[in-house]
Amino acid sequence: MCDGKLTRGSMVASLTALSATPALAQAIPAGSGWNDDLVTGNRILADQEILDGFGHLSMRSQTNPTRFWMSRSMAPALVTAADIMEFDLDGNAVDPRGRAVFLERFIHSEIYKSRPDVNAVVHAHTAAMIPFGVSATPLRPLIHVAGFLGETVPIFEIRDVAGDATDLLVRNAQLGAALARSLGAHPVALMRGHGYVAVASSVRQCVYRAIYTVVNAQAEAEALRLGTVKFLTPGEAKSTAATMAPLVDRPWDLWKTQALGER
């Protein structure tokens, strides 16, 4: 029972909780090849309900393009700077120190290997995406903020690579490479019965794409219930993508404040 009285113990507990709150309190070693956006992006994607207990965000090293950074295996909402680990493009942790790593890190390693233009990758299981990976209805852009989706969104069918013997997880380099082939030059690929990946040249752009892909999927599912849907034309998709790409810092600042309570 709480009687509202402040004891020394409760004050210490409150202060401890307060000092542990800022996600970015720990300094990132200079020249380490990653920045605050990686931790912030994890918090944003959790706060926006794109990632739940599962899923992950990574960024390519800014100092060594054959390395990337992501958190140890944990819920994205809880990631701090101390949890960030370095990986090579075969999915090996460079300095594991006994920390658990994500089974599906090969999603990231194989995409970085095949896409020199990609510097950030999100993998998520967001429920709104699932119908478009398992049905005959294609995911296509119908709002201006999702023009980056282009004309088609590919679907990775793991059965084409490994039959029915998998648990649908991309748990080795062979499956990661097959996913990267399905993704091709696209910004987003659906993963049948599992989720999706979004990629971009920066963490902020990647978070934007991960979020607005889900917003588009939700809007498309709603629109299809009403009848015939007008999608963006290829020209509109291209123009809207070009207009929105330089503007990602605006929603990023909002999402960051909502997720962290700080700027």
SS3 84: strand
What secondary structure letter does DSSP report for 93?
A: B
Tell me the CA distances in angstroms from 162 to 87, 133, 157, 170, 217, one per residue in order. Answer: 25, 17, 9, 11, 28
To the query of whether residue 86 is one of the catalytic residues in this protein, the response is: no
* Sign of the C-alpha dihedral computed for residues 38, 42, 47 and 49 taken in this order: positive
Tell me the CA distances in angstroms from 85 to 8, 81, 97, 205, one per residue in order. Answer: 37, 9, 10, 21
Of 86, 104, 110, 220, which one is the catalytic site residue?
104
Helical residues (DSSP H) of 135-197, grouped into ranges: 159-162, 173-183
Do 120 and 203 meet the contact criterion of CB atoms below 8 Å apart? yes
Token duo for residue 216? 């588009």
Backbone angles phi, psi at 240, to 5 degrees: -65, -35
Which positions are annotated as active-site residues?
Answer: 104
